[in-house]
């Protein structure tokens, strides 16, 4: 019974045929400029993994936003286009209408999609353009120094709300994902996160669904991905993920918000 378990050496295990996880080829070799621990990197990687799995590298066109992820085109090795601040859904509309066989997606933060670009977002969703929108929500303007965003939580401190967001004075946090789910043009609306291994697996499935629905010409897929912003929240990366779990996710619950009706 007391059989000695064979203990393999590192040389035995680290062989080409045993490789089970590697950085996807569709991410360039550039080092992400994001802060250590930022969820943008995971979101980039998941989208590129899905593009690689569906083998649509030559057909995928991404729209980069303005915000921390403004340089997304440096990391995603596919065709990319930079949009004016908040105007990515309008640009995606144009690209998809002129090239309907391409897979078009936008990658936008909360300052881009939910603040300056609210009109474009809502109208693109309402028209039901056949594109995918990936909305990266961290509840703060990370790039410009942690100012209050529309999605900032009540009593959450930011550099423009040093005493916490006051609802009476500054209004309520905007749940734009629930808002667009009400519109008839959206086909698939979901909220995911990337702070834990299980959440990452679910987020990848959601991103894959968004691309598959686009292939089937079902209409607009809207995938919100909640990430941390440890610099903006002034926390260590691991603490930021924990804080997100305890404070952010109760207000922005994860899961599908609008799923296609089964026939």
Residues that bind other proteins (CB under 8 A): 3-8, 10, 12-15, 18-24, 27, 31-32, 34-42, 45, 194-197, 200-201, 230, 236-238, 241
Instruction: Tell me the CB-side half-sphere exposure of residue 116, using CA atoms within 13 A.
Output: 14
Question: By C-beta, is 12 or 182 nearer to other proteins?
Answer: 12
Min dist. Cβ of residue 50 to other proteins (A)? 14
Min dist. Cβ of residue 202 to other proteins (A)? 11
- The answer to whether 126 and 168 have CB atoms below 8 angstroms apart is no
Min dist. Cβ of residue 71 to other proteins (A)? 14
Describe the crossing of helices 88-98 and 118-127 by its angle, rounded to 10 degrees.
30
Question: By C-beta, is 110 or 129 nearer to other proteins?
Answer: 110
Question: By C-beta, is 137 or 214 nearer to other proteins?
Answer: 137
Min dist. Cβ of residue 225 to other proteins (A)? 13
DSSP states of 69-119 as a string?
GGGGGGTB-SEEEE-STT-HHHHHHHHHHH-TTSEEEEEEEHHIIIIITHH
Question: By C-beta, is 19 or 262 nearer to other proteins?
Answer: 19
Min dist. Cβ of residue 111 to other proteins (A)? 20
Question: By C-beta, is 10 or 169 nearer to other proteins?
Answer: 10
CB atoms within 10 A of CB 205: 14
Question: By C-beta, is 124 or 227 nearer to other proteins?
Answer: 227
- The answer to whether 229 and 136 have CB atoms below 8 angstroms apart is no
Min dist. Cβ of residue 194 to other proteins (A)? 7
Q: Which residues of 79-116 are buried (b: 16+ CB within 10 A; e: fewer)?
A: ebbebeebbbbbbbbebbeeeeebbbbbbbbbbbbbbb
């Amino acid at each position: 019974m007391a059989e000695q378990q064979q203990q393999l050496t590192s040389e035995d295990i680290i062989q080409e045929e045993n490789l089970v996880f590697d950085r996807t080829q569709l991410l360039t070799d550039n080092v992400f400029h994001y802060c250590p621990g930022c969820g943008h990197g995971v979101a980039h990687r998941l989208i590129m993994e899905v593009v690689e799995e569906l083998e649509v590298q030559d057909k995928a066109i991404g729209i980069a936003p303005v915000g921390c992820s403004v340089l997304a085109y440096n990391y995603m090795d596919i065709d990319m286009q930079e949009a004016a601040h908040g105007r990515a859904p309008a640009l995606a509309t144009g690209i998809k209408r002129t090239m309907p066989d391409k897979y078009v997606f936008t990658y936008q933060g909360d300052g881009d999609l939910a603040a300056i670009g609210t009109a474009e977002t809502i109208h693109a969703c309402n028209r039901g353009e056949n594109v995918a929108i990936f909305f990266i929500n961290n509840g703060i303007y990370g790039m410009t120094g942690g100012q209050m965003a529309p999605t900032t939580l009540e009593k959450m401190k930011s550099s423009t709300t040093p005493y916490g967001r006051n609802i009476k004075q500054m209004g309520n946090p905007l749940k734009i994902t629930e808002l667009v789910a009400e519109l008839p043009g959206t086909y698939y609306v979901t909220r995911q996160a990337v702070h834990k291994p299980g959440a990452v697996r679910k987020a990848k499935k959601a991103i894959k669904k968004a691309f598959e629905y686009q292939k089937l010409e079902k209409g607009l897929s809207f995938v919100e991905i909640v990430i941390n912003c440890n610099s903006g929240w002034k926390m260590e990366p691991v603490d930021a993920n924990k804080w997100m779990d305890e404070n952010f996710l109760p207000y922005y619950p994860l899961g599908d918000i609008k799923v296609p009706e089964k026939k």
